Amino acid sequence: MGRRYLDDQFPHKPFATPGSPAFTEVLSCRTVYYTAPVAATPSRIEREVMALSATLSYLVEAAEQASRGKDDFLLAYRLPKRTELVIVDEAQRLKMAALEQLRDLYDRGNFG
């Protein structure tokens, strides 16, 4: 797929390039939005929330490097934790064990 096709299909530009306005807006992001599935096991919730958190950290790190004028950068083994808030949509679907898992993630992760 060409760049033009992707731009036309996704006007919000999820494939923004470093240095573009959409890419620099990522610098201040610190929130992850998670929609709980209907049948959510505690391990699945942990995996998915941690993956979203890691993705946010990676995107913010890439945006920071791009704002410094670096096109490519060396990714550290462990990125700084940048997630400050996790919003859980459809939380009423969760069973007590899943809520306890979210609480445990909160206790370990220092996010709200």
Identify the band that residue 66 occupies on the pLDDT scale cut at 50, 70 and 90. confident
pLDDT of 99 over the 60 cut = yes
* Per-residue pLDDT, 78: 62
Kindly write down the DSSP assignment for every residue of 20-84, as one continuous string: SHHHHGGGG--EEEEEPPTT--HHHHHHHHHHHHHHHHHHHHHHHHHHTT-SS-PPPSSPPP---
| Half-sphere exposure in the Cβ direction for 4 (13 Å, CA) | 0
For 72, the domain range is: 31-109
Residue 3 in any domain: the answer is no
Closest among 69, 71, 72, 57 to 26, alpha carbons compared: 57
The total number of structural domains that make up the chain: 1
**Model pLDDT for residues 13-37, shown as the tens digit of each residue:** 444 565 566 666 777 888 888 888 8
pLDDT of 12 over the 60 cut = no
